[in-house]
Chains A and B, each alone.
Chain A
Amino acid sequence: MPHDIVLSIAIVWMMILLAISLVLVIAGPSRLAQILAFDMATMMILGGLLLLALARRSSFDLDAALMLALFSFGGTLAATRYYRKGTIFS
C-alpha cells in the first residue's frame, strides 16, 4: 500500500524534526530562543500525533493533540511571563 509507506516516511521525518527542535530547546542561543524552540517542539509533537491518528485510524490521538495544544499555549505564556516579570502570578 503506497499510502502506508507515505505515512511511515512522514512519521519518521516528523520524529527527525522533533529531535532537531529538542536539540534547539537545550542549545538555543538565548532563553527566549529556547522558549520559542519549545513551542516549536510541541508543534512537532502535535503533528506527530495527527499522523499517528491517521495511521491508526483512531480519534483518541486527536484528543491528546487538543490537550497538548492547550498546555503548550499555557506553557509558552507562563514561560514568557516568568521571563519578563520574574513571576507568573503577580
Chain B
Amino acid sequence: MNALIPWLADILILGALLMLTVALYGVLRMPDIYTRLHASSKTAVFGVAPLLVALMLSGEASFISRALLIGAFILCTTPVAAHAIARAAFETDPPERIERWTGDRPEPHDG
C-alpha cells in the first residue's frame, strides 16, 4: 500500500498540470472578461489543490501544516479576487446584455 503513494502523487501532479493547461487555454480562447474569469477561477481548486494534496501525501508534518495553510488561504482569496475583477469590469463598462458565446459554431436556429 505504501508503494502506491508516490504513484498517486504523480497522478495528482499530472492531473493538476492538465487542468492548469486547460484553464490557460480557456483564458487564451474566451472572448470577453467574464468568460475568461470562468476559465481562470478554476486554477485554485483544480490546479493548486491537487498539488497541495500531493505534498501532503509525503507525510511530513512541516509539509502538511503549510499545505493546509496555503490551501485554506487560496480557497478563500481566489473567489474574492475574481469577484473584484468582475466587479471592476461591470462598473467601468456595464454591458447592455451579455451575448451568448457560441464559439465557432453558428447560432442554433429555432424550431
Q: How many residues of B contact A (CB 8 A)?
A: 45
Q: Which of B62, B69, B81, B89 has the most CB of A within 10 A?
A: B81
User: Which chain A positions have C-beta within 8 A of B92?
Assistant: 83-84
Give Cα A33 to B73, complex, Å. 23
Known: A17-B24, A66-B66. A43 touches B43 (CB 8 A): yes
Interface of chain A: mostly helix, strand, loop or mixed? helix
Seen from chain B, the residues whose Cβ lies within 8 Å of a Cβ on chain A are 6, 9-10, 13-14, 16-17, 20-21, 23-24, 27-28, 33, 36-37, 40, 43-44, 47-48, 51-52, 54-55, 58, 60, 62-63, 66-67, 69-70, 73-74, 77, 80-81, 84-85, 87-89, 91-92
